[in-house]
Amino acid sequence: MTLTRMRLAEGVWEGLLSTGARQAPRLLLRHRDELVGEPETVEADASPGEPRRWLVRFQLPTERLSDGVQTFVIEDAATGDALAHETIFAGEIVDDDIRAEVSLLRAELDMLKRAFRRHCSES
């Protein structure tokens, strides 16, 4: 069973599930290890001899969105295996984190440039 992310548009996540099952498998949507719903599963066109395909959709639960990083996981209800995830970054705290990371990367790059120049001048 393979779930491939297709897009996120207008708050709706969509993916394509390929499986040999005749019926749509039951999927669960989790956030912070809590069950928040079941994605909609609709049969998609399948060529004869090909695995069955299902369109999987879910509306991002807006009540779960807040500052920081939020990850939603789609899992197979029968096995508990994670099939896909969607991570959302939001708020000022993320901006600060990204700026700090970029600043750290710049400092490390400057250090590497100095070391490289020193190495080249010694050779």
d(CA 4, CA 24): 15
Residues 36 and 86 grouped into a single domain:
yes
| Structure confidence at residue 30 (pLDDT) | 92
Contact (CB, 8 A) for 63 and 37: no
Domain count, the chain: 2
| Structure confidence at residue 44 (pLDDT) | 87
Residues 9 and 27 grouped into a single domain:
yes
Residues 55 and 12 grouped into a single domain:
yes
Q: What range does the domain containing 68 cover?
A: 2-90
- What CATH number did the domain enclosing 19 receive? 2.60.40.10
| Structure confidence at residue 70 (pLDDT) | 87
Residues 115 and 83 grouped into a single domain:
no
Residues 96 and 82 grouped into a single domain:
no
Residues 14 and 49 grouped into a single domain:
yes
Q: Which residues pair with 52 in a beta bridge?
A: 19
Residues 37 and 8 grouped into a single domain:
yes
| Structure confidence at residue 103 (pLDDT) | 74
Residues 20 and 73 grouped into a single domain:
yes
Q: List for the chain the helix, strand, coil content (%; round to 5).
A: 30, 45, 30
pLDDT in tens, the chain (123 residues): 899 999 999 999 999 999 888 888 999 999 988 999 999 999 887 677 777 899 999 999 999 998 888 889 999 999 889 999 998 888 776 667 777 778 778 878 888 888 898 899 887
Residues 101 and 76 grouped into a single domain:
no
Q: What is the pTM of this model?
A: 0.72
Residues 46 and 99 grouped into a single domain:
no
User: Which H or E run includes 73?
Assistant: strand 68-76
